[in-house]
Amino acid sequence: MHYPFWHVEGLTAPMLIALIATVHVFVALYAVGGGIFLAWETRYAYRTNNQMYLDYLRQHAWFFVLLTIAFGAITGVGIWWTIGLASPLPTEFLIHTFVFGWAMEYVFFILEIVSAFIFFYAWGKLPPRVHQQIGWIYAISAWMSLVIITGVTGFMLNPGDWQGNFWRAFFNPQTIPQILARTGAALLLATLYVYLHAGVKASSAESGGLCELIARRSARPAMAGAALVGLGGIGWYLALPFSAKAALTGAAALNVMMVLIFLLTVVVFFVFYWSAYRQPICPTPAFGALFLIIGLIITGEAEFVREAVRKPYVIYGEVYSHNVYPSDLPRLQKEGFLEGGVWTRHYVTRRFPALLDAQGRIDEARIITLPKTQQVELGKAVFMYHCASCHAPRGFSGMRELMPGWKSEMIEDLILRLDDYHFFMPPWSGTREEATALRKYLETLVAPHPLKR
């Protein structure tokens, strides 16, 4: 409402956020778990004076730095860029609420970057004790970044009784369960990336038992990670707000995803217990690739479910999915959705000056006096600001695909009673005249009824 909308044809801007964010999470969690793995295993290799293992860990550190620091940084910037365009009001709210948190995050991020480069590029040039300390500085900094970001994402799902206090906001009911789950996912993904890398680099017959050592040593974080994912997932569910639980249990696809997440996590735990920890075997590229894909599926589905149950909010109870504060609803429903926003008001002033009264305000009663083509154009503007955060005109969650054969009265009744029809949709936030304009635009998208042609 206070910012211009950003339209992504056929996909919707939030889905673009989801795609970029999911790819980033795949790498960011490895940045945490892989850092812990490298710090711990470098310590072990120095203590046992295993030069062959140290050489392998150096190779893996190059793979790790290239993937997490280079690619991870690009996708991290991509998230900020897309959320700033697609969800500007929630982004503004989170920045203002967590100023101290973001400051801490930037400090830890700088520590991550600097220590990661020192850890890799000073390998063999630093005394072993100092080298290990640099590794642990990176690992702790990366995990603290995870903790801070998780506190923010947990707040978005269940702020709890925060009362404007930073620490109450940060330690919301979702913080601890999500830290457990994400730490577990980080450890699990670290092992799966190690298996993929080791399957290519260390599976030759001349490895002298190196690949078996890698298999056995990396199995433990995988099993610990799988256990933490399960424990954190249970805590996450118990800490969900009532409507979020209702959204979860009421969507068959989300239920299937939840079951699949837990089943795959159990499978991964026992596979690594029997084939890597108890009886270590050399990881092959095919085995590494297969289980990395399984780990990415677990992580991706968990992120999707976590985001899906927030509706009708972006920040639960604080900001609706269409960038409106709940406290603004009565004013918008009385004075008009278009009148309530800086950019919508500017758009109407420029495109439809006939709607303005003597005081320069939008006269809602004049909307239905416009020619139909202009009402459709105005309705499209209402759609972009009120609906396009979740729906495309055509495509992903497209209105054309959702309303086959719908009649005019059905469409307008749905608009006026959005949250009555679907509790995970925000309430209608405009006047009846604006609903009529939106209805006339949606009528241009309606496809024929598949059985009543």
pLDDT tens, position by position, 394-432 = 988 889 999 999 999 999 999 999 999 988 899 999 999
Which helix (H) or strand (E) segment holds residue 335: the answer is: helix 329-335
pLDDT of 176 reads 97
Mean predicted confidence (pLDDT) in 182-187: 96
The rounded distance, in Å, linking the Cα atoms of 131 and 46 is 10
pLDDT of 198 reads 86
Predicted TM-score (pTM) of this structure = 0.91
Residue with tokens 């969650």: 397
Give the chain's length: 453
Closest C-alpha among 198, 219, 389, 187 to residue 299: 187
Mean predicted confidence (pLDDT) in 50-61: 93
pLDDT of 281 reads 78
- pLDDT band of residue 361 (cuts 50, 70, 90) is very high
pLDDT value at 64 more than 70: yes
Where is average pLDDT lowest: 114-123, 171-180, 200-209? 200-209
Under a CB-based contact definition with an 8 Å cutoff, are residues 172 and 186 in contact? no
Closest C-alpha among 401, 437, 430, 218 to residue 340: 430
**pLDDT over 90 percentage in the chain:** 70
pLDDT of 453 reads 65
Mean predicted confidence (pLDDT) in 131-142: 97
Identify the residue with better confidence: 453 or 194: 194
The rounded distance, in Å, linking the Cα atoms of 441 and 436 is 9
Cis amide leading into 285 (omega within 30): no
pLDDT value at 382 more than 70: yes
pLDDT of 205 reads 41
Under a CB-based contact definition with an 8 Å cutoff, are residues 343 and 448 in contact? no
**What is the DSSP secondary-structure string of 122-173?**
TTTTS-HHHHHHHHHHHHHHHHHHHHHHHHHHHHHH---S-TT-HHHHHT-T
pLDDT of 208 reads 62
Mean predicted confidence (pLDDT) in 67-94: 89
The rounded distance, in Å, linking the Cα atoms of 194 and 200 is 10
- pLDDT band of residue 194 (cuts 50, 70, 90) is very high
- pLDDT band of residue 13 (cuts 50, 70, 90) is confident
The rounded distance, in Å, linking the Cα atoms of 306 and 25 is 13
The model's pLDDT over 258-285, given as tens digits with 9 standing for 90+, comes to: 999 999 999 999 988 887 888 887 878 8
